[in-house]
Structure 1
Amino acid sequence: MAPIRVGIVGLSSKPGTWATLAHLPRLATSPNYQIVALCNSTLESTKAAIKAHHLPESTKAYDSYDQLAADPDVDLYVVSTRADTHYEVAMPALKAGRNVFVEWPLAATTEQAREMATLAKEKNVKTIVGLQGRMSPSVRKVKELIDTGAIGEIHSVNYQGAIHVWQKNAAGERYQYFMDRKVGANLLTIYGGHILDSIFYAVGELLPGSYTPMAANLRPKMHLLKDDGSLSEELYDKDTPDQILLQGKLDRHPRAVFSFHLRAGDRFIGGPGSTWRIYGTKGELVVEFASAGPQMAKATSIRFSNAEKGEIEEITTDEGGKKWTDLPTQGQNPGRLYEAYAEGRPYPDFDSAVQRHELLDEFWASMS
């Protein structure tokens, strides 16, 4: 099969940016893909990115979303920009009938997400949303253990995570936009959405009508923590949550109970960023991650307290070899998502994204 020809919006020439770490590494090395075009805010910045990343001279440079969307050589239009621009950037491609990949969250609002998903159906195009946590070998191992009955009947699922932002009771200057709900990218939408999607992929969806979400903004005004370590004198308004909770039941047999708590602020010193506990009739599975969620990096440990044997078992996962582990951590699960699309395996699409957006709206409603 010929490689899938990709046009990317938002690949900067600067090292360390998200698209450079998450999208470029696998796209540039996969036999299933070929980067044929880039689009940035100016033609100069687009050409600089082509040069910085040593892309072929034949790579087309654009400064217009419409021009990139109209390029007949682009099979997959990739949106890697800030959440509040996703709608604006993706709509020209959807209108042009291009297959589209958009980062999570799909849009700044659920209304925009629904409109994008509806248009995609009307145009009969394939869509991908960047909920890459379900591609994580660690998450898939948890799902395998549950699905094969290794843990027995599942009775409870508990997840606790601490997002390593808002240290010293201040908002990091780099993530100041997390404080503004209008941007669409914050602790609830990014971390909450990613983590909950990963959990539900592995253990099953919530039972409708059985759950109560809650979000709280306990720091409505915050100082900024500057890059030099100093604090701003002024306080800035924040209308996004720093405590995110959910309790309910899972749509399983028997109806397992579910408890979720995600918070901002300093982590327990020396402790994991998050802990996922799944209790079944054969024992308890405990999964720990260095970060707040499973979407970015593999679990630091997966242990099963085998009640039948009276011993703790260390569970290992197959990461797929050096072609994956040599990639930047940020690029491993997005890369696996790209390969699932190329190979026709299941992957999250815009309909998946709308489902998660609608759940997050229930958290927003709890803050009013």
Structure 2
Amino acid sequence: MAPIRIGIVGLSSKAGAWATLAHLPRLAKSPNYQIVALCNSTLESTKAAIKAHNLPESTKAYDSYEQLAADPDVDLYVVSTRADTHYEVALPALKAGKNVYVEWPLAATTQQAKEMAALATEKNLKTIIGLQGRMSPSVKKIKELIDTGALGEIHSVNYQGAIHVWQNNAAGERYRYFMDRKVGGNLLTIYGGHILDSIFYAVGELLPGSYAPLAANLRPRMHTMGQDGSLSEELYDKNTPDQILLQGRLDRHPRAVFSFHLRAGDRFIGSPGSIWRIYGTKGELAVEFASAGPQMAKATSFRFSNSEKGEIEDIVTDEGGKEWTDLPTQGQNIGRLYEAYAEGQPYGDFDLAVKRHELIDEFWATMS
């Protein structure tokens, strides 16, 4: 098969930028893909990115979403920009009948997400939502252990994570926009959405009518932190949550109970960013991650307390070898998502994204 030809919006020339670490590494090496075009805010910045990443001279440079969307050589249009721009960046491609990849969250609002999904359905397009946690070998292994009955009947699922931000009641430059709900990217939408999707993929969806979400903003006014670590004297308003909780039951038999807590602030010193426990009638699985969520990297600890044998077993996951582990951490599961699309394997689309957006709206309704 001919490679899928990619056009990317948001791949800058900066070495540490998100698209550079998350999208480019696998796309540049995969036999299933060819990057044929880039689009940034100016032609100069687009050309600089092409040069910085040693892309072929034939790579087309654009500064217009409409022009990129109209390019007949682009098979898949990729949106790697901030959440509040996803709608305006993706819409020209959807209208032009392009297959589209958009990072999570799909849009700044659920209404925008629904409009994007509806347009994709109307035009019979393939869409990808960047919920890459379900591609993680660690998450897939958890799902396998559950689905094969290795844990017995599942009775409870517990997840606790801490996002290492808002220390000293301050927001660094990188996460300052997390304070403003209008941007669409914050602890609830980005981290909460990624983590919950990974959990539901592995253990099953929530049982409708059985659950209670809660979002709390206990730091409504915060300092900002300069690059030198200094704190602003002024306090700035924040209207996004720093405590996110959910309790309920899962839509499986038996109706397992589910407890979720994600918070900001300092982590317990020396502890992992998140702990995921699944209790079944044959024992309990305990999985730890360095990050607050499983979407970024493999588990740092993966153990099963086997009650039948009376011993703890270390679980090993297949990461796919150096082909994958040599990629930047940010690019491993996103790379796996691209390959799932190319190979016709299951992955999340815009309809899934709308479902997750609707759940997040239920959290917003509880904000205090």
TM-score by length of 1: 1.00
CA deviation map 1:252-281 (0-9, x unaligned): 100000000000000000000000000000
Q: For residue 218 of structure 2, what is the amino acid of its counterpart?
A: L
| Structure-to-structure mapping, 1:96-111, within 5 angstroms | 96-111=96-111
Distance in 2 of aligned mates of 1:61 and 1:24: 16
In structure 2, the partner of 1:77 is: 77
CA deviation map 1:122-144 (0-9, x unaligned): 11110000000000000000000
| Structure-to-structure mapping, 1:36-55, within 5 angstroms | 36-55=36-55
| Structure-to-structure mapping, 1:270-289, within 5 angstroms | 270-289=270-289
Distance in 2 of aligned mates of 1:226 and 1:156: 43
Q: For residue 132 of structure 2, what is the amino acid of its counterpart?
A: Q
CA deviation map 1:280-303 (0-9, x unaligned): 000000000000000000000110
* Distance apart, 1:351 and its partner CA: 0.3
**Helix, strand or coil at the partner of 1:223:** strand
CA deviation map 1:169-215 (0-9, x unaligned): 21122210000000000000000000000000000000000000000
Task: State the aligned residue count.
Answer: 368
Distance in 2 of aligned mates of 1:157 and 1:4: 39
In structure 2, the partner of 1:152 is: 152
In structure 2, the partner of 1:32 is: 32
* Distance apart, 1:100 and its partner CA: 0.2
CA deviation map 1:40-74 (0-9, x unaligned): 00000000000000000000000000000000000
In structure 2, the partner of 1:234 is: 234
Distance in 2 of aligned mates of 1:257 and 1:96: 45
| Structure-to-structure mapping, 1:294-313, within 5 angstroms | 294-313=294-313
Distance in 2 of aligned mates of 1:366 and 1:331: 34
What is the identity percentage for the equivalent residue pairs of Structure 1 and Structure 2?
88
* Distance apart, 1:112 and its partner CA: 0.1
Q: For residue 107 of structure 1, what is the amino acid of its counterpart?
A: A
Q: For residue 214 of structure 2, what is the amino acid of its counterpart?
A: M
In structure 2, the partner of 1:321 is: 321
Q: For residue 223 of structure 2, what is the amino acid of its counterpart?
A: H
In structure 2, the partner of 1:258 is: 258
In structure 1, the partner of 2:17 is: 17
In structure 2, the partner of 1:293 is: 293
Distance in 2 of aligned mates of 1:259 and 1:161: 12
Distance in 2 of aligned mates of 1:68 and 1:107: 20
Q: For residue 221 of structure 1, what is the amino acid of its counterpart?
A: R
Q: For residue 172 of structure 1, what is the amino acid of its counterpart?
A: G
Root-mean-square deviation over aligned CA pairs: 0.5
In structure 1, the partner of 2:122 is: 122
Distance in 1 of aligned mates of 2:348 and 2:323: 23
Distance in 2 of aligned mates of 1:129 and 1:164: 25
CA deviation map 1:226-252 (0-9, x unaligned): 221111110000000000000000001
**Helix, strand or coil at the partner of 1:14:** coil
Distance in 2 of aligned mates of 1:139 and 1:271: 20
Distance in 2 of aligned mates of 1:292 and 1:274: 5
Distance in 2 of aligned mates of 1:170 and 1:280: 41
* Distance apart, 1:365 and its partner CA: 0.3
Q: For residue 118 of structure 2, what is the amino acid of its counterpart?
A: T
In structure 2, the partner of 1:208 is: 208
**Structure 2 runs not aligned, ≥5 long:** none
**Helix, strand or coil at the partner of 2:74:** coil
**Helix, strand or coil at the partner of 1:112:** helix
Distance in 2 of aligned mates of 1:227 and 1:156: 43
